[in-house]
Amino acid sequence: MKKILLAPDSFKGTLTAMEVCEILESVTRNIYPACEIIKTPLSDGGEGFVDCLLAAQGGEKTWVTVSGPMGEEIRAAYGVLPNGTVAIEMAAASGLTLVKPDARNPLKATTFGTGQLIRQALKQGQRDFVIGLGGSATIDGGAGAAAALEISYQTREGKEITTGGDLILLDHIDCSNMDPAMQESRIRLACDVTNPLYGPQGAARIFGPQKGANRDQVRILDEGLENLNEVLKRETGIDVQALPGSGAAGGFGAPFIAFTRAQICRGLDLVLDAVAFDQKLVGADLVITGEGRSDAQSAMGKVLSGVGMRAKQLGVPVIAISGALGEGYEALYEQGISALFSTVRQSASVDEVLKNARVNLTRTSDDLFRLLKTLDV
């Protein structure tokens, strides 16, 4: 083994992508001390999106006090890249991991804090934005972020709406006070899904349960997003529902698509190009990737899928080490992943699994590299 490329996503809520890289590097060094190791932490638009871009291109973070997803005051940062692009990840201000499991409620969760990050950057004269839409706690159709930017979702009585639970009451969107800088800005929405705004494959029905919504709440949220789309069509002529990915992050992009002509792009491709992934693959004997949980969704444009398909084109084998393997992970075998391993060895509670993530990853990767060494790979 002469060259190994380490290219994992974060293990959501436990280990950052860079921490995963460092653990894998330490284990690899013990087994292959002379091997060239290239650490390339990745993100598809969720946790670690900003750090991945800053690590690849340089730049700096700006910290801001904003509103968290449930209205609490938190500190969050955006990155400014050397070319002036502002990188923002929703997970930093409106993320699911910021809310305790028993407190998750997408009827009330808001993207207001993410809007505050955008507004602060606008005040600093920034006009080029890339926003990672992964890992959000919200299904508010961008209402909270819009409010932070003086785009007011209103009921027929003129009451402002900032949460998903009230979208069914939406009657009008007032943009008269919107900062003119929004119209001057370039906004790219980086996501890893193609789900529409509402319907059977929409934001509420597909992602609502994992954000804490029960069946009745899913119905309310889905009807609200459909109503949002009807209002946007009536007032702007734009059918957000028709755009693949409009359901990402609970429909966060809806007001930006309608009022600033924001564009949806694949977050993973943006990151892979930014870190020069294809160039790093040249001459590699093996790629190690991974994530917190691998399942059927992993094959739908997430990190393992993208890494596997790019490596497959150059004939480089890829092994994935993930915290858990869920239903449908086998689809990744058709996308360039040679083998997948789970770090969880025995039955344990979620709290125990999260607590022992570092130890479990170290043990599993050590076993893997010992096997490869035995096989003289």
Domain contains 263: yes
Q: At what angle do helices 267-274 and 49-57 cross, to 10 degrees?
A: 20
What stretches in the chain show pLDDT beneath 70?
346-350, 353, 377
The pLDDT score that the predictor gives to residue 92 is 96
The pLDDT score that the predictor gives to residue 1 is 83
Domain extent, residue 214, equals 49-268
CA–CA distance, 68 with 155 (Å, rounded to integer)? 24
- pTM of the predicted protein model: 0.89
Q: Does 74 share its domain with 14?
A: no
Question: pLDDT tens digits, residue range 87-129?
Answer: 999 999 999 999 999 999 999 999 999 999 999 999 999 999 9
Q: Does 293 share its domain with 222?
A: no
Domain contains 336: yes
Q: Does 199 share its domain with 287?
A: no
Output b/e per residue, 314-324; b: 16+ Cβ within 10 A.
eebbbbbbbbb
Final residue belonging to a domain, choices 268, 294, 322 = 268
Question: pLDDT tens digits, residue range 162-176?
Answer: 999 999 999 999 999
- CATH number for the domain spanning 163: value is 3.90.1510.10
